[in-house]
Structure 1
């Protein structure tokens, strides 16, 4: 929203304040100024142009069409100027561009006046035509002025140019009270303790007068909910034409193009008072009726932009006796607006309910200055004031007479907001004790009336144009924004713990992260039914069928319980795909399991992952690779790594459901079970090929998520690899080797990996061999053989003592 500083000066005395000071005052009060730009009425502002008097005018000796003049421009000596205009003559008052002046004949071109010689004669300036300085289009000759102004008078002063400053205000949706120059002046009034100078009801009552009642109009309002207040009057015998210069200056400054005197005045009043108005050509008001009614669904209507729009049944319209003329509060119609042929008008000033205007504006994608204000909540008490003001201006600048009484339909006046405010709450929320008289002064300055006052509290009445002030906290905010945030002292024991980083664990964001990772690994997400068959819990010893949540009104014998495990719904998907020749499967599902408990039911969130068939298909480069335990375990470990789960340990598992696998534990809680589904269990769901399954406790994983990732500089010193072939009991796992190694060598051991496992005829029964690589690195220096050998000796001794291992040489 744009505010003109010159316009604002007409409402409140701020001549002693710079534009920058007004910027700071408005911003501090909540009307944040996002830009401050100087606007010139004429490009260059006529700087360097003065009034001069031609004292001498002689024929140029070397050019028939040139004259050599002496011009008094208010300096000690007249200046000589060579002029080619045919109408230049002795005794004329003219406009002179002095040396160094930048002229702008158009906004996009300019030239500078320099001292020079023209056909041998010195020229110390230029006598100007109106098109050369941007004051018109004529180039028939120089401008000759009829004035007694002193020589040397600046041209900008003579022509009363009005340069301006425009404040671009980023108006927040709650501050519709600030959507006008009057609104900005109201804040400055209380900030500077000054009075608003004009446009008060008393001023208008003194000048407004109904001339006759020769053109009355009947007004009917269908819905007082959609239109709580509708007022208007007629003005007859007007002459539509150009607006006065001062109105055009005001509108142009804030980026509006002048149209004609009637439309410009309605726009002027809108931007001065914040009350939208609309002028209808009275000749188009057939039947002398104004009907405020809802549109018929599907009706077509052509708006001012010549766009044909299909109306909705909840669009509020302004209509005459037979047809629509305007979308209420949003946009006028093409045929009913003011044109050069208009001689009489009906002038509307109304209050439309924000909800109806907002809905219509959004449905038709129309945003206008009127809808901007109506949909946020205008001042219902401004309707008559704005109507009288606009009517008075139209009479003054378009002629005519007010030819009807004001019709004002306002059956249920909108009440002020009455709020109780305790002084202790004012001090508590602001954080500083403010004198009660100061509080009262601020509120009264903001036009918030004090209804009652006691020692501890006040009861206030807030005018309805302050739609954002309806609670005690809102009143306190009003006090604070005027009192000044910068005037609140900082406590000596100011706490800044609110600045600490406590990242919120958003389950949905984490789920998205894991979903993207699994999808990037070639997995497809599935969604299955939470209802399943009781045969699964009855057929597997690991699931207690007594904890089934049974369905009372079952639709199918196969869907008689809520699932206790994610396993079988996933197996059913795999079976469905295998039957359709899709044997290579990698899928996952986020879902819930359901169980009975002593006093009711419980549900748990899980992530289930399934792989079956081949993990990579055959190609000319390589043969197909079958999915195995490591395919599924690597996915699980990537998930744990993705969520930065620390301190994970593994333990071998084998039961009725899982033939072999691992449980992953962190903080003494099992967070995942991974392994091959036993053939017996898989067969319950009709699956005959190997299936590898991971059941992850998603709720626990989310709780353990650690957003505090640690970063450090990449070491400058090289790492060293050493390999060991370790023979040990066939029941021993690589996890046990890894755990012992990490406990034995905490400083130098960075990575440990198994790259081969062997069981066969070269080893005794009950033994197997792990080929393990160890990556060693010192972050502060290059490792030497002595340090490496010492480290490896410690590891070998630990394996021999704790695992009874034999190190193959």
Structure 2
């Protein structure tokens, strides 16, 4: 949330430096994340001065250029070459002097330099209004009033406004502070604790009056549960145009783009006092009637962004007399009901909508607007009429017109303020130290909390309607504490703690593994457990029916809990690659979540992601790309560090890999590792190879350090290791090679291992190269060369016959 300091000072005449004010706001719970300087015109026209054109003659070498001499008030006229068709002697103009930086409509600056134009020197630039950011016209230079004195700074003539804007990280419960008035209320309470008492100045609406009753609208609220209070008024004879500069400057300072004077006023009041409003073109309503109701599921409605949406039966709609939808209440307006340049009369709405209903509708349609943001969190039900009058006054001020109806205010059941009893004893116990009772009363009074009763044991309190988050005694205590100051609470220097005994400390094991990975150049990542539901469609091993779905997701990208750590890891990979960091080593400890027929399941995993070069660029190291064998070595070292022995290697059945293996002990699967398939990488925009290892951490902990030592006699006869470099079709997997090898040689073949995969320009299209090792051993005698060659020949023939392999 952005708060303008100039705007804030309209409510509270505070003269503190912005940094000091920001510190106090942070102490009050409105955390200031940054303070930005904002100018109504970028650069504040620094270096631009008023000049008088003394002479203007035709450029000798260009038909469209003129040579002027301009007095800048320093007694030394300068020569400027100007291409504007309207430049003439005797004019008063704005001149950008040498060294001045001007900015285009994209905010990019360019510096005015001394130069020659068609052979004639030019020592500055006579400016058009768009070149200074004072308008959009570029038909010619700006011609100013002649009474302006040469040499006067343009920033003084055009009243450039500078502002300081606070970026506040507001917590969701503080709906009351989502405006300049709300922030000023909190700041005032904080200043009182600093012994500074200032008056809170709220905008007056006493000037509001009804001019005539020629445009009366009937209003019907059919669902008062979703719309507990609804107010409206009509204003006619308005002129839609640009807003005055003071409104535009305020909105621009907080990042809101001005649209027209009517819409700008509704946005202005929204950010000023926190009440969303909506202006409808009155001519678009049939029978001058407003109906607030729900419509059947499937009803089509086109919103302001041009998107046709299907309504749900619980979506509250603003409809016209013909019961046609005009606006999604509290969320988004309709394409055909808003204010346009041709609008001459409006129906102005100010309402209090049910927060739960608005939140469901906004999330259902994937919409997040300034209005829904506030309605979802709860606004002040007593503010609607005041805000309506405030907006009506401003509209008449900036657009003309007159109020043409009485205010309609439908409020059948008044929302009562919360009543809370504050126990001093409980307050002291929760805070941990007593706060003087008079200080407590002063804090509560500064927060507009009223006293119903005062006893020795506590206070009976009425909470103001705008504090929808303060409903319990604990909430009141929190309010007292944040204004009093957490740093002002005295605390004991004695620390009490309990020590728990655990026979098996899995956190310690995680730290051991993390330290080993960090020593190998890995960085730990912590990804969100919420992810996109569509990711499961990238692999057949994950089932969409097993998704744990959020009932009320924050967005479509956070709709389900992850079934795999792969996809969130790939998001981190592409994030780094896009920022020129392509040599990556990541690891993450995290959980996966599944919804099976038997119930919900959580599983702990450790995942590794490796991509790019093994080491950072260095003058004394030759670069080597990370490959399958490199990652397998890292995985094997981790398992050995954890005491996992006798690991069996088999081809993986996991279809996320183009090449991969599974490491296991018996039937207990420990790790899947391999090269991630290119189609999956393509979904994330990753063009380089990514190697991925997925540890089933719970299984690793089961066998880690607990493997029984089996003693077996060492083979008396030496094993022999031979390698093949096989040229294969890309579709062939290591699993096929592995199985064919053991089918061909069951007696003496002990191990088959893949230690390198190559795909590159030197190979034929659609081909890849496998480097496969074979361990051959006879436990009863030493194998001779003939036997070994016979076995290897049998393997070669098997691969050639079954998968078309070619020995490289």
Q: TM-score, normalised by structure 2?
A: 0.59
Q: What is the number of equivalent residue pairs in this alignment?
A: 536
Query: 1:370 corresponds to which residue?
Result: 371
Equivalent position of 1:175 in the other structure: 174
Residues 275-424 of structure 1: matches in 2 within 5 Å? 275-322=275-322, 323-424=324-425
State the Cα distance separating 1:377 from its structure 2 match. 0.7
Displacement of 1:28 in angstroms is 1.9
Distance 1:634 1:616, change over 3 A: closer
Greater mean deviation of Cα atoms: 131-140 or 262-271? 131-140
- Measured in 2, the distance between the counterparts of 1:591 and 1:310 equals 35
Q: CA deviation at 1:62?
A: 7.3
On the 8 A contact 1:227/1:351 being kept in 2, the answer is yes
**Deviation, structure 1 residue 385:** 0.5
Report the CA distance between 1:68 and its aligned residue.
5.4
Q: How does 1:628-639 map to 2 (within 5 A)?
A: 631=666
1:423: Cα distance to partner? 2.6
Question: Partner residue of 1:199?
Answer: 202
Report if aligned partners of 1:82, 1:118 keep a CA contact under 8 Å in 2. no
Range with bigger deviation, 28-37 or 109-118: 109-118
- Whether contact under 8 Å (1:186, 1:196) holds in the other structure is no
* Match of residue 41 from structure 1: 40
**Structure 2: which 5+ residue stretches go unaligned?**
514-540, 542-595, 600-647, 652-664, 671-696, 711-778, 781-808
Instruction: Mark the CA change 1:23 to 1:498 in structure 2 (over 3 Å): closer, same or farther.
Output: farther
CA gap 1:498/1:331 in 2 versus in 1, 3 angstroms: farther
Partner of 1:57: 55
Q: What's the offset of the Cα at 1:357? A: 0.9
For residue 642 of structure 1, what is the aligned residue in structure 2?
A: 701
SS at 2:427 equivalent: helix
Deviation string for 1:476-532 (max 9, x for gaps)? 111121122232344333x2749999999999x99xx9xxxxxxxxxx9xxxxxxxx
Residue 414 of structure 1: how far off its partner (Å): 0.8
- Judge conservation of contact 2:433–2:491 (CA < 8 Å) in 1: no
**CA contact 1:229–1:350 (8 Å) conserved in 2:** yes
Q: Provide Cα deviations, 1:666-706, integer angstroms capped at 9, x if missing partner.
A: xxxxxxxxxxxxxxxxxxxxxxxxxxxxxxxxxxxxxxxxx
1:463 is aligned to 2:464: yes
- The equivalent residue for 2:492 is 491
Distance in 2 between residues matched to 1:321 and 1:61, nearest whole Å: 67
Q: Is the Cα–Cα contact under 8 Å of residues 10 and 197 in structure 1 kept in the other structure?
A: no
Residue of 65, 68, 78 corresponding to 2:76? 78
Aligned equivalents of 2:669, 2:302: Cα separation in 1: 65
- Residue 377 of structure 2 aligns to a residue in which SS? coil
**Displacement of 1:381 after TM fit?**
0.5
Greater shift after overlay, 284-293 or 125-134? 125-134
Q: Secondary structure at the match of 1:317?
A: strand
Q: Deviations over 1:413-463 (max 9, x none)?
A: 111111111233333333333222222222111111122222331111112
Measured after TM superposition, the shift of residue 307 of structure 1 is 1.7
User: Structure 2 vs 1, CA of residues 368 and 640 (structure 1 numbering), >3 Å: closer, same or farther?
Assistant: closer
| Contact preservation (8 Å) 2:91, 2:146 | no
SS of aligned partner of 1:166: strand
CA distance in 2, matches of 1:279, 1:208: 18
In structure 2, the CA distance between the partners of 1:275 and 1:68, relative to structure 1 (3 Å rule), is closer
State the alpha-carbon separation in 1 of the partners of residues 598 and 394 from structure 2. Answer: 70
1:147-226 residue pairs with structure 2 within 5 A? 148-193=147-192, 194-195=197-198, 198-200=201-203, 203-204=204-205, 206-226=206-226
Deviation at 1:465, TM superposition (A): 2.1
Aligned pair in 2 of structure 1 residues 496, 648: CA closer, same or farther (>3 Å)?
farther
State the Cα deviation string for residues 726-770 of structure 1 (Å, max 9, x = none). Answer: xxxxxxxxxxxxxxxxxxxxxxxxxxxxxxx99xxxxxxxxxxxx
Alignment CA distance shift 1:650-1:23 (3 Å): same
Judge conservation of contact 2:67–2:81 (CA < 8 Å) in 1: yes
Shift in CA distance, 67/301, structure 1 to aligned 2, threshold 3 Å: closer
Residue aligning to 2:31: 32
| Aligned counterparts, 1:610-759, within 5 A | 631=666, 642-643=701-702
Task: Between 113-122 and 4-13, report the one with greater CA deviation.
Answer: 113-122
Distance 1:499 1:127, change over 3 A: farther
Moved more, 264-273 or 86-95: 86-95
CA drift of 1:467 comes to 1.7
CA–CA distance in structure 1, aligned partners of residues 187 and 227 of structure 2: 32
Q: Cα gap change, 1:373/1:68 in structure 2, threshold over 3 Å: closer, same or farther?
A: closer
Checking the alignment, whether the CA contact within 8 Å between 1:101 and 1:113 is kept in structure 2 is: yes
Over 3 Å counting, the alpha-carbon distance change for 1:400 and 1:335 in structure 2 is: same
Flag the 1:502–1:19 CA change in 2: closer, same or farther, 3 A.
farther
Residue in structure 2 matched with residue 245 of structure 1 by the alignment: 245
The CA distance in 2 between the partners of 1:388 and 1:151, in whole Å, is: 46
Aligned to 1:101: 100
Give CA-to-partner distance per residue, 1:392-421, whole Å, 9 cap, x none: 111222222111111111121111111111
**How many angstroms does 1:275 deviate by?**
0.8
Q: Distance in 1 between matches of 2:419 and 2:59?
A: 86
Superposed CA deviations along residues 143-197 of structure 1, whole A, max 9, x for unmatched, are 3321544543321221112233332322221111111121111111212245465
Change (3 A) 1:146 1:278: same
Q: How does 1:753-792 map to 2 (within 5 A)?
A: none
CA distance in structure 2 between the partners assigned to 1:460 and 1:503 by the alignment? 52
Note the 1:414-563 alignment, pairs <5 A: 414-493=415-494, 495=495, 497=497
> SS at the partner of 1:144?
coil
CA distance in 2, matches of 1:500, 1:243: 66
- Give CA-to-partner distance per residue, 1:624-669, whole Å, 9 cap, x none: xxxxxx957999xx98972488899999xxxxxxxxxxxxxxxxxx
- Contact 1:351–1:380 under 8 Å retained in 2: yes
SS in 2 for 1:359: helix
CA change 1:130–1:276 in 2 (3 A) is closer
Structure 1 unaligned blocks of 5 or more? 514-523, 525-588, 593-613, 618-629, 652-756, 759-809
- Report which stretch shifted further, 85-94 or 438-447: 85-94
CA RMSD of aligned residues (A): 4.1
Residue 239 of structure 1 contacts residue 400 of structure 1 at CA under 8 Å; is this kept in 2? Answer: yes
Q: Give the SS at the match of 2:35.
A: strand
State the partner residue of 2:143.
144
Cα displacement string for residues 514-554 of structure 1 (whole angstroms, at most 9, x for unaligned residues): xxxxxxxxxx9xxxxxxxxxxxxxxxxxxxxxxxxxxxxxx
Aligned in 2, Cα 1:500/1:261: closer, same or farther, shift over 3 Å?
A: farther
2:256 aligned residue: 256
Counterpart Cα distance in 1 of 2:98 and 2:288: 64
State the shift of 1:230 in Å: 0.9
Does the C-alpha gap of structure 1 residues 506 and 115 become closer, same or farther in structure 2, counting only changes over 3 Å?
Answer: same
Q: Distance in 1 between matches of 2:498 and 2:412?
A: 51
Against the structure 1 CA distance between its residues 227 and 143, is the aligned structure 2 distance closer, same or farther, given a 3 Å change threshold?
closer
